[in-house]
Structure 1
Amino acid sequence: MADISGRRARPDWQTWPNLLTLVRFVLIPVYVGLVVAGHPGWGLVSLVGLGVTDWADGFIARRFHQESALGKALDPVADRLSIVAIVLSLVLVGLLPWVVVAVVVVVDLVLVAMSSALFRGSPDLDVTWTGKIRSALLFVGLPVLLFSSTSVAEHLTWVRVVALVCIVLGTVGHVLAGVQYAAAMVRKRRGDAVPAR
Protein backbone atom coordinates (compact mmCIF):
# COMPACT_ATOMS: atom_id res chain seq x y z
CA MET A 1 0.00 0.00 0.00
CA ALA A 2 1.34 3.47 -0.87
CA ASP A 3 0.85 6.79 0.94
CA ILE A 4 -0.14 10.12 -0.64
CA SER A 5 3.41 10.80 -1.86
CA GLY A 6 3.48 7.49 -3.70
CA ARG A 7 5.94 5.84 -1.30
CA ARG A 8 5.20 2.36 0.02
CA ALA A 9 3.55 2.75 3.44
CA ARG A 10 5.18 0.96 6.37
CA PRO A 11 2.99 -1.74 7.94
CA ASP A 12 1.68 -0.90 11.41
CA TRP A 13 3.70 -3.69 13.03
CA GLN A 14 6.99 -2.85 11.29
CA THR A 15 8.55 -0.46 13.82
CA TRP A 16 11.79 -0.14 15.78
CA PRO A 17 9.98 -0.45 19.14
CA ASN A 18 8.50 -3.79 18.04
CA LEU A 19 11.96 -4.99 17.02
CA LEU A 20 13.31 -4.03 20.45
CA THR A 21 10.41 -5.88 22.09
CA LEU A 22 11.36 -9.01 20.12
CA VAL A 23 14.94 -8.58 21.34
CA ARG A 24 13.56 -8.60 24.89
CA PHE A 25 11.80 -11.90 24.20
CA VAL A 26 15.14 -13.35 23.02
CA LEU A 27 17.05 -12.00 26.03
CA ILE A 28 14.69 -13.61 28.56
CA PRO A 29 15.85 -17.24 28.03
CA VAL A 30 19.45 -16.03 27.64
CA TYR A 31 19.25 -14.40 31.06
CA VAL A 32 17.66 -17.47 32.71
CA GLY A 33 20.28 -19.77 31.18
CA LEU A 34 23.17 -17.64 32.42
CA VAL A 35 21.85 -17.37 35.97
CA VAL A 36 20.95 -21.05 36.32
CA ALA A 37 24.35 -22.01 34.86
CA GLY A 38 26.04 -20.08 37.66
CA HIS A 39 27.09 -16.92 35.84
CA PRO A 40 25.35 -14.15 37.85
CA GLY A 41 27.65 -11.46 36.46
CA TRP A 42 26.77 -12.21 32.84
CA GLY A 43 23.18 -12.70 33.89
CA LEU A 44 23.27 -9.17 35.27
CA VAL A 45 24.61 -7.89 31.94
CA SER A 46 21.73 -9.53 30.05
CA LEU A 47 19.33 -8.11 32.64
CA VAL A 48 20.66 -4.63 31.94
CA GLY A 49 20.00 -5.34 28.26
CA LEU A 50 16.41 -6.24 29.14
CA GLY A 51 15.99 -3.00 31.06
CA VAL A 52 17.55 -0.83 28.33
CA THR A 53 15.43 -2.34 25.55
CA ASP A 54 12.32 -2.01 27.73
CA TRP A 55 13.01 1.70 28.23
CA ALA A 56 14.09 2.28 24.63
CA ASP A 57 11.06 0.75 22.93
CA GLY A 58 8.69 2.93 24.96
CA PHE A 59 10.77 6.07 24.43
CA ILE A 60 11.11 5.56 20.67
CA ALA A 61 7.42 4.71 20.29
CA ARG A 62 6.39 7.95 22.02
CA ARG A 63 9.13 10.21 20.66
CA PHE A 64 8.79 9.19 17.01
CA HIS A 65 5.08 8.27 17.05
CA GLN A 66 5.71 4.60 16.28
CA GLU A 67 2.98 3.17 18.49
CA SER A 68 1.26 0.13 17.05
CA ALA A 69 -1.47 -2.32 18.00
CA LEU A 70 1.09 -5.14 18.03
CA GLY A 71 3.37 -3.16 20.30
CA LYS A 72 0.57 -2.44 22.77
CA ALA A 73 -0.21 -6.16 22.89
CA LEU A 74 3.39 -7.45 23.09
CA ASP A 75 4.89 -4.93 25.52
CA PRO A 76 2.91 -5.98 28.62
CA VAL A 77 3.48 -9.65 27.74
CA ALA A 78 7.24 -9.03 27.57
CA ASP A 79 7.08 -7.18 30.91
CA ARG A 80 5.25 -10.02 32.65
CA LEU A 81 7.46 -12.72 31.13
CA SER A 82 10.54 -10.77 32.20
CA ILE A 83 9.33 -10.51 35.79
CA VAL A 84 8.35 -14.20 35.93
CA ALA A 85 11.66 -15.29 34.36
CA ILE A 86 13.74 -13.14 36.70
CA VAL A 87 11.87 -14.29 39.79
CA LEU A 88 11.91 -17.95 38.72
CA SER A 89 15.65 -17.92 37.99
CA LEU A 90 16.41 -16.44 41.41
CA VAL A 91 14.21 -19.08 43.04
CA LEU A 92 16.01 -21.85 41.16
CA VAL A 93 19.42 -20.70 42.44
CA GLY A 94 18.15 -20.32 46.00
CA LEU A 95 18.13 -16.54 46.30
CA LEU A 96 14.33 -16.22 46.64
CA PRO A 97 11.63 -18.34 48.31
CA TRP A 98 9.04 -20.05 46.09
CA VAL A 99 6.23 -17.97 47.57
CA VAL A 100 7.36 -14.93 45.56
CA VAL A 101 7.15 -16.64 42.18
CA ALA A 102 3.88 -18.31 43.23
CA VAL A 103 2.28 -14.93 44.01
CA VAL A 104 3.50 -13.34 40.76
CA VAL A 105 2.41 -16.28 38.59
CA VAL A 106 -1.00 -16.72 40.27
CA VAL A 107 -1.85 -13.02 39.88
CA ASP A 108 -0.86 -13.05 36.21
CA LEU A 109 -2.76 -16.26 35.49
CA VAL A 110 -5.93 -14.84 37.06
CA LEU A 111 -5.63 -11.67 34.96
CA VAL A 112 -5.02 -13.66 31.76
CA ALA A 113 -8.04 -15.85 32.49
CA MET A 114 -10.25 -12.80 33.19
CA SER A 115 -9.02 -11.03 30.05
CA SER A 116 -9.76 -14.09 27.93
CA ALA A 117 -13.19 -14.65 29.48
CA LEU A 118 -14.36 -11.04 29.41
CA PHE A 119 -12.70 -9.69 26.26
CA ARG A 120 -11.31 -12.72 24.38
CA GLY A 121 -8.00 -10.88 24.24
CA SER A 122 -6.46 -7.69 25.57
CA PRO A 123 -8.85 -5.32 27.37
CA ASP A 124 -6.61 -2.40 26.33
CA LEU A 125 -6.39 -0.77 29.77
CA ASP A 126 -3.96 1.91 30.88
CA VAL A 127 -1.21 0.95 33.31
CA THR A 128 -1.94 2.20 36.84
CA TRP A 129 0.52 4.07 39.04
CA THR A 130 0.50 1.07 41.36
CA GLY A 131 1.60 -1.07 38.44
CA LYS A 132 4.37 1.37 37.52
CA ILE A 133 5.67 1.54 41.10
CA ARG A 134 5.42 -2.27 41.37
CA SER A 135 7.50 -2.71 38.22
CA ALA A 136 10.07 -0.16 39.39
CA LEU A 137 10.49 -1.89 42.76
CA LEU A 138 10.84 -5.33 41.20
CA PHE A 139 13.15 -4.18 38.42
CA VAL A 140 15.40 -2.59 41.05
CA GLY A 141 15.16 -5.25 43.75
CA LEU A 142 15.61 -8.34 41.55
CA PRO A 143 18.81 -7.19 39.79
CA VAL A 144 20.25 -5.96 43.11
CA LEU A 145 19.51 -9.37 44.64
CA LEU A 146 21.32 -11.03 41.74
CA PHE A 147 24.20 -8.59 42.20
CA SER A 148 24.39 -9.58 45.87
CA SER A 149 25.35 -13.11 44.78
CA THR A 150 28.36 -11.98 42.73
CA SER A 151 31.91 -12.05 44.12
CA VAL A 152 31.91 -8.25 44.22
CA ALA A 153 29.02 -7.97 46.71
CA GLU A 154 28.85 -11.36 48.44
CA HIS A 155 30.16 -9.89 51.72
CA LEU A 156 27.93 -6.79 51.62
CA THR A 157 24.91 -8.08 53.56
CA TRP A 158 23.09 -4.74 53.37
CA VAL A 159 22.83 -5.10 49.57
CA ARG A 160 20.77 -8.28 49.96
CA VAL A 161 18.59 -6.65 52.64
CA VAL A 162 17.82 -3.65 50.41
CA ALA A 163 17.02 -5.98 47.52
CA LEU A 164 14.65 -8.12 49.60
CA VAL A 165 12.80 -5.06 50.93
CA CYS A 166 12.23 -3.82 47.36
CA ILE A 167 11.08 -7.28 46.27
CA VAL A 168 8.63 -7.69 49.16
CA LEU A 169 7.13 -4.24 48.49
CA GLY A 170 7.07 -4.96 44.76
CA THR A 171 5.30 -8.29 45.32
CA VAL A 172 2.65 -6.61 47.47
CA GLY A 173 2.32 -3.97 44.75
CA HIS A 174 1.91 -6.74 42.17
CA VAL A 175 -1.09 -8.07 44.06
CA LEU A 176 -2.61 -4.58 44.48
CA ALA A 177 -2.02 -3.74 40.80
CA GLY A 178 -3.64 -7.06 39.87
CA VAL A 179 -6.71 -6.26 41.94
CA GLN A 180 -6.96 -2.81 40.34
CA TYR A 181 -6.54 -4.27 36.86
CA ALA A 182 -9.18 -6.93 37.51
CA ALA A 183 -11.62 -4.31 38.83
CA ALA A 184 -10.97 -2.12 35.78
CA MET A 185 -11.70 -5.06 33.48
CA VAL A 186 -15.01 -5.72 35.24
CA ARG A 187 -15.99 -2.03 35.03
CA LYS A 188 -15.10 -1.86 31.35
CA ARG A 189 -17.01 -5.04 30.59
CA ARG A 190 -20.10 -3.73 32.39
CA GLY A 191 -19.79 -0.43 30.53
CA ASP A 192 -19.57 -2.22 27.18
CA ALA A 193 -22.61 -4.31 28.12
CA VAL A 194 -24.81 -1.30 28.84
CA PRO A 195 -26.89 -0.52 25.71
CA ALA A 196 -26.62 2.98 24.30
CA ARG A 197 -29.61 5.22 24.94
Structure 2
Amino acid sequence: MSIPEKLSGRVLTVPNLISFARLAGVPLFLYLFLVAEQVGWAVAVLVIGGTSDWIDGYLARRLGQVSRLGELLDPLADRLYILATLLAFTVREVVPWQFTAALLAREATLLIALGVLRRHGQGPPPVHYLGKTATFILLFAFPVLLLAWGTSGVTNAVAYAAGWGLAWWGLGLYWLAGLLYLKQVRDFVALSRVASA
Protein backbone atom coordinates (compact mmCIF):
# COMPACT_ATOMS: atom_id res chain seq x y z
CA MET A 1 0.00 0.00 0.00
CA SER A 2 1.50 3.33 -1.03
CA ILE A 3 1.84 6.23 1.39
CA PRO A 4 -1.13 8.25 0.05
CA GLU A 5 -3.37 5.20 0.35
CA LYS A 6 -2.59 4.42 3.99
CA LEU A 7 -5.61 4.77 6.21
CA SER A 8 -5.52 7.63 8.66
CA GLY A 9 -7.67 8.41 11.66
CA ARG A 10 -8.40 11.96 10.50
CA VAL A 11 -12.00 13.13 10.54
CA LEU A 12 -11.98 16.64 9.07
CA THR A 13 -10.72 15.96 5.57
CA VAL A 14 -12.07 17.36 2.32
CA PRO A 15 -13.43 13.96 1.16
CA ASN A 16 -15.10 13.33 4.53
CA LEU A 17 -16.75 16.77 4.45
CA ILE A 18 -18.13 15.91 1.01
CA SER A 19 -19.44 12.61 2.39
CA PHE A 20 -21.12 14.43 5.30
CA ALA A 21 -22.72 16.81 2.80
CA ARG A 22 -23.95 13.82 0.79
CA LEU A 23 -25.52 12.35 3.93
CA ALA A 24 -27.28 15.67 4.55
CA GLY A 25 -28.55 15.53 0.98
CA VAL A 26 -30.64 12.43 1.71
CA PRO A 27 -33.25 14.10 3.97
CA LEU A 28 -33.09 17.20 1.75
CA PHE A 29 -34.05 15.10 -1.28
CA LEU A 30 -36.87 13.40 0.61
CA TYR A 31 -38.24 16.77 1.72
CA LEU A 32 -38.03 18.32 -1.75
CA PHE A 33 -39.62 15.34 -3.47
CA LEU A 34 -42.21 14.08 -0.99
CA VAL A 35 -43.16 17.20 0.99
CA ALA A 36 -42.37 20.33 -1.05
CA GLU A 37 -42.99 18.54 -4.37
CA GLN A 38 -40.14 20.46 -6.00
CA VAL A 39 -39.19 17.90 -8.63
CA GLY A 40 -36.58 20.09 -10.33
CA TRP A 41 -34.70 20.73 -7.08
CA ALA A 42 -35.01 17.06 -6.11
CA VAL A 43 -33.41 16.09 -9.44
CA ALA A 44 -30.60 18.59 -8.76
CA VAL A 45 -29.93 17.09 -5.31
CA LEU A 46 -29.76 13.58 -6.80
CA VAL A 47 -27.38 14.75 -9.54
CA ILE A 48 -25.08 16.44 -7.02
CA GLY A 49 -25.22 13.43 -4.68
CA GLY A 50 -24.39 11.00 -7.47
CA THR A 51 -21.57 13.13 -8.90
CA SER A 52 -20.00 13.78 -5.51
CA ASP A 53 -19.85 10.00 -4.93
CA TRP A 54 -17.01 9.92 -7.46
CA ILE A 55 -15.46 13.22 -6.37
CA ASP A 56 -14.89 12.30 -2.70
CA GLY A 57 -13.03 9.09 -3.61
CA TYR A 58 -10.94 10.88 -6.22
CA LEU A 59 -9.98 13.66 -3.81
CA ALA A 60 -9.15 11.19 -1.04
CA ARG A 61 -6.57 9.52 -3.28
CA ARG A 62 -5.38 12.72 -4.93
CA LEU A 63 -4.88 14.63 -1.66
CA GLY A 64 -3.58 11.64 0.29
CA GLN A 65 -6.55 11.90 2.65
CA VAL A 66 -7.75 8.29 2.62
CA SER A 67 -9.18 7.63 6.08
CA ARG A 68 -10.95 4.85 7.95
CA LEU A 69 -13.93 7.15 8.51
CA GLY A 70 -14.04 7.89 4.79
CA GLU A 71 -14.07 4.19 4.00
CA LEU A 72 -17.16 3.86 6.20
CA LEU A 73 -18.92 7.11 5.23
CA ASP A 74 -18.73 6.65 1.47
CA PRO A 75 -20.61 3.33 1.20
CA LEU A 76 -23.01 4.47 3.94
CA ALA A 77 -23.91 7.56 1.93
CA ASP A 78 -24.29 5.43 -1.22
CA ARG A 79 -26.68 3.01 0.46
CA LEU A 80 -28.72 5.73 2.13
CA TYR A 81 -29.08 7.55 -1.19
CA ILE A 82 -30.14 4.37 -2.95
CA LEU A 83 -32.54 3.22 -0.23
CA ALA A 84 -34.12 6.63 0.36
CA THR A 85 -34.52 7.26 -3.36
CA LEU A 86 -35.99 3.82 -3.98
CA LEU A 87 -38.51 4.11 -1.17
CA ALA A 88 -39.56 7.60 -2.25
CA PHE A 89 -39.77 6.49 -5.89
CA THR A 90 -41.87 3.48 -4.93
CA VAL A 91 -44.28 5.62 -2.88
CA ARG A 92 -44.76 8.02 -5.81
CA GLU A 93 -44.76 5.17 -8.36
CA VAL A 94 -41.72 6.42 -10.26
CA VAL A 95 -40.47 2.81 -10.23
CA PRO A 96 -42.48 -0.40 -9.74
CA TRP A 97 -42.20 -2.19 -6.41
CA GLN A 98 -40.60 -5.20 -8.15
CA PHE A 99 -37.54 -3.11 -9.05
CA THR A 100 -37.27 -1.88 -5.48
CA ALA A 101 -37.67 -5.42 -4.15
CA ALA A 102 -34.84 -6.67 -6.40
CA LEU A 103 -32.45 -4.04 -5.04
CA LEU A 104 -33.54 -4.51 -1.44
CA ALA A 105 -33.12 -8.29 -1.74
CA ARG A 106 -29.50 -7.74 -2.77
CA GLU A 107 -28.93 -5.48 0.24
CA ALA A 108 -30.54 -8.01 2.59
CA THR A 109 -28.34 -10.78 1.18
CA LEU A 110 -25.19 -8.75 1.80
CA LEU A 111 -26.31 -7.86 5.34
CA ILE A 112 -26.58 -11.58 6.11
CA ALA A 113 -23.13 -12.16 4.59
CA LEU A 114 -21.72 -9.33 6.71
CA GLY A 115 -23.18 -11.01 9.79
CA VAL A 116 -21.36 -14.22 8.85
CA LEU A 117 -18.08 -12.31 8.54
CA ARG A 118 -18.58 -10.62 11.91
CA ARG A 119 -19.16 -13.99 13.54
CA HIS A 120 -15.66 -14.87 12.33
CA GLY A 121 -14.25 -11.61 13.71
CA GLN A 122 -13.97 -9.83 10.38
CA GLY A 123 -15.35 -6.59 8.99
CA PRO A 124 -16.57 -6.08 5.45
CA PRO A 125 -14.09 -6.76 2.65
CA PRO A 126 -12.91 -3.84 0.50
CA VAL A 127 -15.46 -2.39 -1.91
CA HIS A 128 -15.14 -4.04 -5.32
CA TYR A 129 -14.77 -1.78 -8.37
CA LEU A 130 -17.77 -3.50 -9.94
CA GLY A 131 -19.89 -2.51 -6.95
CA LYS A 132 -18.71 1.09 -7.22
CA THR A 133 -19.54 1.07 -10.94
CA ALA A 134 -23.01 -0.34 -10.30
CA THR A 135 -23.65 2.23 -7.57
CA PHE A 136 -22.51 5.08 -9.82
CA ILE A 137 -24.82 3.90 -12.64
CA LEU A 138 -27.79 3.62 -10.27
CA LEU A 139 -27.11 7.04 -8.78
CA PHE A 140 -26.98 8.42 -12.32
CA ALA A 141 -30.16 6.58 -13.35
CA PHE A 142 -32.28 7.91 -10.48
CA PRO A 143 -32.31 11.62 -11.43
CA VAL A 144 -32.93 10.67 -15.07
CA LEU A 145 -35.94 8.55 -14.04
CA LEU A 146 -37.22 11.38 -11.88
CA LEU A 147 -36.79 13.79 -14.80
CA ALA A 148 -38.87 11.42 -16.96
CA TRP A 149 -41.54 11.22 -14.25
CA GLY A 150 -41.77 14.99 -13.92
CA THR A 151 -41.82 15.93 -17.61
CA SER A 152 -43.73 15.18 -20.78
CA GLY A 153 -43.15 15.09 -24.53
CA VAL A 154 -39.71 14.50 -26.01
CA THR A 155 -37.90 15.08 -22.69
CA ASN A 156 -40.04 12.42 -21.04
CA ALA A 157 -39.48 9.91 -23.86
CA VAL A 158 -35.70 10.36 -23.94
CA ALA A 159 -35.29 10.45 -20.15
CA TYR A 160 -37.56 7.42 -19.70
CA ALA A 161 -35.57 5.28 -22.17
CA ALA A 162 -32.18 6.44 -20.86
CA GLY A 163 -33.20 6.19 -17.22
CA TRP A 164 -34.55 2.66 -17.45
CA GLY A 165 -31.62 1.54 -19.59
CA LEU A 166 -29.24 2.75 -16.88
CA ALA A 167 -31.43 1.40 -14.06
CA TRP A 168 -31.57 -2.17 -15.40
CA TRP A 169 -27.87 -2.09 -16.26
CA GLY A 170 -27.08 -0.85 -12.76
CA LEU A 171 -29.32 -3.47 -11.15
CA GLY A 172 -27.60 -6.27 -13.09
CA LEU A 173 -24.12 -5.05 -12.13
CA TYR A 174 -25.28 -4.50 -8.55
CA TRP A 175 -26.28 -8.15 -8.24
CA LEU A 176 -23.13 -9.32 -10.03
CA ALA A 177 -21.02 -7.33 -7.55
CA GLY A 178 -23.08 -8.87 -4.74
CA LEU A 179 -22.31 -12.37 -6.02
CA LEU A 180 -18.58 -11.55 -6.11
CA TYR A 181 -18.89 -10.28 -2.54
CA LEU A 182 -20.59 -13.53 -1.49
CA LYS A 183 -17.75 -15.49 -3.13
CA GLN A 184 -15.24 -13.49 -1.05
CA VAL A 185 -17.22 -14.33 2.09
CA ARG A 186 -17.40 -18.03 1.19
CA ASP A 187 -13.65 -18.18 0.50
CA PHE A 188 -12.87 -16.47 3.79
CA VAL A 189 -15.13 -18.81 5.77
CA ALA A 190 -13.51 -21.83 4.09
CA LEU A 191 -10.01 -20.56 4.95
CA SER A 192 -11.12 -19.82 8.50
CA ARG A 193 -12.40 -23.36 8.95
CA VAL A 194 -9.17 -24.83 7.58
CA ALA A 195 -7.11 -22.63 9.90
CA SER A 196 -9.12 -23.64 12.96
CA ALA A 197 -9.17 -27.37 12.12
TM bracket (short chain): 0.7 to 0.9
CA contact (8 A) 1:17 1:61 kept: yes
Distance 2:125 2:43 in 1: 32
When the two structures are superposed, what TM-score results if normalisation uses the length of structure 2? Answer: 0.83
Q: How far apart in 2 are the matches of 1:24 and 1:169?
A: 24
The alignment partner of 2:195 has SS state of coil
Whether 1:31 aligns to 2:29 is yes
CA distance in 1, matches of 2:51, 2:167: 20
Unmatched segments (≥5 aa) in structure 1: 1-9
* 2:152 pairs with 1:154: yes
Q: Tell me which structure has the larger Cα radius of gyration.
A: 1
Which moved further from structure 2: 13-22 or 41-50? 13-22
Q: 1:174 to 1:52 in 2, by over 3 A?
A: closer
SS at match of 2:153: coil
Show the counterpart of 2:94: 95
User: Identity of paired residues, percent?
Assistant: 29
In the alignment, does 2:12 pair up with 1:14?
A: yes
Deviations 1:9-34 (A, max 9, x none): x9523322112111111111111221
- Once the two structures are overlaid, the 10-residue window that deviates more, 71-80 or 113-122, is 113-122
Instruction: Find the residue that maps to 1:95 and give its secondary structure.
Output: coil
What residue identity is the alignment partner of 1:145? L
Residue 6 of structure 1: aligned partner: none
Q: Which moved more, 1:30-39 or 1:120-129?
A: 120-129
Structure 2: segments with no counterpart, 5+ residues = 1-7
**Distance in 1 separating the partners of 2:53 and 2:153:** 31
| Distance verdict in 2 for CA 1:168–1:25, change over 3 Å | same
Kindly indicate which of the two structures has a greater share of residues assigned to helix. Answer: 2
**2:47 — aligned with what?**
48
TM-score normalised over the length of structure 1: 0.83
Q: Out of 61-70 and 86-95, give the one that drifted further.
A: 86-95
Aligned length: 184
